[in-house]
Amino acid sequence: MLKAIVITEQPVSASVPAGYSLTLRCRAEACTSLRYQWFSQLQSACCQITGATEPDLLITARETQLYICRINDLQRNFTFSNWVKVEVHQRIARDLLPELWQGEPVIVINPTVLEVKVGKELQLQCAALGIPAPHYQWYHNGKPMEDQKKKKLLINSAKVSDSGTYLCCAANSHGEHWTNAVDVHIGTCWPDTFFATDKVALLVGNNHYQNHPNLMAPITDVFELSLLLKKLGFRVVSLLDLNKVEMMIAVNQFLQLLGKGVYAIFYYAGHGYEHSGRNYMVPIDAPQPYAPENCISVQRILHKMQQRQTALNLILLDTCRKWYNPQCALSQVQPLEPWGNTVYGYATSEDAEAYEVQDGEFSSGIFMKYLKKHILQEKKVTHMLEDVLEDIGRDPLVTGKQVMEIKHTLKEARALTDPIYPTGLTAVLWGHSCELLRETVTFPCGIQVELRFREVFSNVMHVSAKLQAPPPHIADVRLLLCRPAEMQDLAVLRGSQSDQVESLLTSLSEHEELDCVLRLCGLQKVQEASKPTSSSYPKDGSMVPAAQKGLASLEVESGSSSQCSSQSNTCSEPEENDESDLSSLCSALLRASPGQNCS
């Protein structure tokens, strides 16, 4: 019995510019010699290509056509290859293709910005060159659209929820390439005023230094600013007392949340300095004296913020601007792009100091004292800062000592109160905010304790315990909250700082008598000693249940004392700090919503 003709290599479709020469290949096997014949189809007409009787067909692409190859043996058996399409793109710039193009995808048509009314058809289109012809996958707000895998995206009846950022990935065996992202608004009309695609703020307050005088105001200023920014719709990450590595990681994670159209705020309170127009933040582990390599450059951060195509970058520096070490060389910083979206708010002028003031039971910076008075105003952000500047200038405590300074390139009247039309990827990256828990722990002896968790800052958690009514056979109960094993080495807020946190908490809620209180700080240092399970971490990656493990123990007296502990397991000791672990933790902290109340 003769062996059937078996095609071992099928021709592949291609997407090429007009005038490009390429070869279609077909290979087959059989017991006898084989003959090949190529055919082409243009529109509805299919015709044999004269002289195309070889396994390879060399063509110069002029217009889009379909091709197929017939293979027959000497016994008049035959089979056909798959149809392939050679798509030809006209008027493609010659320099668009790389000099040594190997067939990897090259985008030639990007989708364009659209405004579509509700219920109308939404169409987006892209195209790419490639051999083999690329396949396509559309994404909406960072998520793949299962039913949109062609060059043209089509939604027959658009809904408001279809608003957002769209982009497409073109891929073949040589690689992948992405189109530009495009914002689509579904509604009756575009908003008449300026708007943000999202609002994100990173607030850092360094209070307790290893080699420099400690500060009092940053802990209060960061806390109060975070509350005000949340009222304006900002996603806020607030962190206290970071060393250099932790500051760099926090900034990098912050940058990942920024995107096209986002309003971004970076606020720093702590020791700092300025040298030849360049500003540096001093981490808590900086030596004495410090040099630029021990500190964090603000200009480098702003340069990276600009690369994220933000609509507004607001830098607020509540630091001194004096420089005490003239022998040190400046760090290298690339010049900023003139995009007209940057605002600097300096707490003080060049070569001057910024002052703290005792405001009731709180210590606060002079700058924050007046910033919190005006920041909720519905006016251009530079005009709002001018109001702050004028108020500071009228304060007799700092007359002749501290004058605020504003620098900006803001070309549009954008305000922090502008509405949010979420068309970017920030919400996807941020994840679901974590609602801090109230959880009741039941001990084997029958006693129940309600644990409550509140994040005062993104890396400072307040844990309290309330003893529920004990069973009748329990005569005396003493409740203790203990640090979990993985948190034994975390920093502890010093006396004055602890008092400030307590005052801040009291200012937020009505006083309630609690049986036990534990404060966990420096949470950015927590390591994962082993892969988390569903019982130790929630799906949204928040830190709360990890903090619960091993927290509660109590002593019970019923004629005699007995020890009773929670049934939860205690985590093993963490390994040494490294940047990857810290980065993973910061990601979890970013996905939590700091400062939420457990009520």
Establish if 321 belongs to a structural domain.
yes
Assess whether 317 and 270 both reside in one domain. yes
**C-alpha distance from residue 313 to each of 131, 235, 381 (Å):** 42, 15, 11
Q: Which residue has the higher pLDDT, 132 or 509?
A: 132
Instruction: Give the integer Cα–Cα distance in Å for 67 and 13.
Output: 9
Assess whether 382 and 293 both reside in one domain. yes
pLDDT for residue 254 = 92
Q: What is the pLDDT of the chain when averaged over all its residues?
A: 78
Residue 510 has pLDDT above 80, yes or no: no
pLDDT for residue 143 = 87
Residue 435 has pLDDT above 80, yes or no: no
- Tell the residue number behind the tokens 């090259």, with chain if given: 106
Assess whether 86 and 109 both reside in one domain. no
Instruction: Give the integer Cα–Cα distance in Å for 591 and 541.
Output: 7
Assess whether 53 and 132 both reside in one domain. no
pLDDT band at 197 (very low <50, low <70, confident <90, very high): confident
Residue 564 backbone dihedrals phi, psi, to 5 degrees: -135, 130
| Burial category of 231 from C-beta neighbours within 10 Å (exposed 0-12, middle 13-18, buried 19 and up) | exposed
Assess whether 516 and 369 both reside in one domain. no
pLDDT for residue 436 = 56
User: How does pLDDT run across 72-94, given as a tens digit for each residue?
Assistant: 998 889 999 999 999 999 988 77
Considering the chain, what percentage of its residues have pLDDT values greater than 70? 75
Establish if 425 belongs to a structural domain.
no
Assess whether 302 and 388 both reside in one domain. yes
**C-alpha distance from residue 103 to each of 92, 138, 273 (Å):** 16, 21, 52
pLDDT for residue 349 = 79
pLDDT for residue 477 = 82
At CA 300, angle to CA 294 and CA 302, rounded to 5? 135
Establish if 43 belongs to a structural domain.
yes
Q: How many residues does the chain have?
A: 599
- Tell the residue number behind the tokens 């082993």, with chain if given: 530
pLDDT band at 21 (very low <50, low <70, confident <90, very high): very high
Residue 322 has pLDDT above 90, yes or no: no
Establish if 581 belongs to a structural domain.
no
Establish if 370 belongs to a structural domain.
yes
Which of 287, 317, 292 lies closest to 204 in space, CA to CA?
Answer: 317
Range of the domain at 151: 99-187
Instruction: Give the integer Cα–Cα distance in Å for 10 and 21.
Output: 19
Instruction: Give the integer Cα–Cα distance in Å for 251 and 271.
Output: 17
pLDDT for residue 480 = 82
Assess whether 18 and 127 both reside in one domain. no
pLDDT for residue 338 = 54
Assess whether 224 and 347 both reside in one domain. yes
Establish if 460 belongs to a structural domain.
yes
Domain boundary among 49, 78, 95: 95
Domain boundary among 62, 95, 128: 95
pLDDT for residue 459 = 79
pLDDT for residue 201 = 95
Looking at the structure of the chain, the number of domains it has is: 4
User: How does pLDDT run across 125-174, given as a tens digit for each residue?
Assistant: 999 999 999 999 999 888 899 999 999 999 999 988 888 888 999 999 99
For residue 464, what are the β-bridge partners? 452, 517
Domain boundary among 146, 168, 187: 187
pLDDT for residue 530 = 35
Establish if 591 belongs to a structural domain.
no
User: How does pLDDT run across 100-132, given as a tens digit for each residue?
Assistant: 899 999 999 999 877 788 888 999 999 999 999
Instruction: Provide mean pLDDT across the span 296-304.
Output: 90
User: How does pLDDT run across 341-373, given as a tens digit for each residue?
Assistant: 889 999 887 777 888 776 555 677 889 999 999
Exactly one of 185, 271, 408, 462 is catalytic; which is it?
Answer: 271
**C-alpha distance from residue 254 to each of 17, 284, 302 (Å):** 41, 20, 12
Which CATH number belongs to the domain containing residue 388 in this structure?
3.40.50.1460
Q: Which residue has the higher pLDDT, 448 or 13?
A: 13
Q: Which residue has the higher pLDDT, 451 or 107?
A: 107
User: How does pLDDT run across 537-580, given as a tens digit for each residue?
Assistant: 233 333 333 333 444 454 444 333 333 333 333 222 222 233 33
pLDDT for residue 584 = 41
pLDDT for residue 96 = 83
Which CATH number belongs to the domain containing residue 484 in this structure?
2.60.40.3360
pLDDT for residue 52 = 94
Element housing 555 (H / E) = strand 552-557
pLDDT for residue 118 = 86
pLDDT band at 487 (very low <50, low <70, confident <90, very high): low
pLDDT for residue 493 = 52
Least confident of 28-42, 103-117, 183-197, 511-525: 511-525
pLDDT band at 479 (very low <50, low <70, confident <90, very high): confident
Which CATH number belongs to the domain containing residue 74 in this structure?
2.60.40.10
Assess whether 291 and 377 both reside in one domain. yes
| Burial category of 462 from C-beta neighbours within 10 Å (exposed 0-12, middle 13-18, buried 19 and up) | buried
pLDDT band at 582 (very low <50, low <70, confident <90, very high): very low
Assess whether 183 and 218 both reside in one domain. no
pLDDT for residue 559 = 36
Which of 204, 461, 485, 217 lies closest to 357 in space, CA to CA?
Answer: 217
Instruction: Provide mean pLDDT across the span 299-312.
Output: 89
Instruction: Give the integer Cα–Cα distance in Å for 399 and 10.
Output: 82
Exactly one of 320, 521, 571, 586 is catalytic; which is it?
Answer: 320
271 is catalytic: yes
Displacement of CA 522 from its chain's centroid (Å):
21
Residue 599 has pLDDT above 50, yes or no: no
Assess whether 236 and 351 both reside in one domain. yes
pLDDT for residue 571 = 29
Assess whether 299 and 212 both reside in one domain. yes
User: How does pLDDT run across 31-75, given as a tens digit for each residue?
Assistant: 889 999 999 988 777 899 999 999 999 999 999 999 999 999 988
Residue 409 has pLDDT above 70, yes or no: yes
Residue 375 has pLDDT above 80, yes or no: yes
pLDDT for residue 329 = 55
Q: Who contacts 423 (Cβ-Cβ below 8 Å, separation ≥6)?
A: 141, 163, 164, 165, 183, 184, 185, 197, 261
Establish if 467 belongs to a structural domain.
yes
Instruction: Provide mean pLDDT across the span 442-457.
Output: 82
Least confident of 17-26, 81-90, 250-259, 338-347: 338-347
Residue 253 backbone dihedrals phi, psi, to 5 degrees: -70, -35
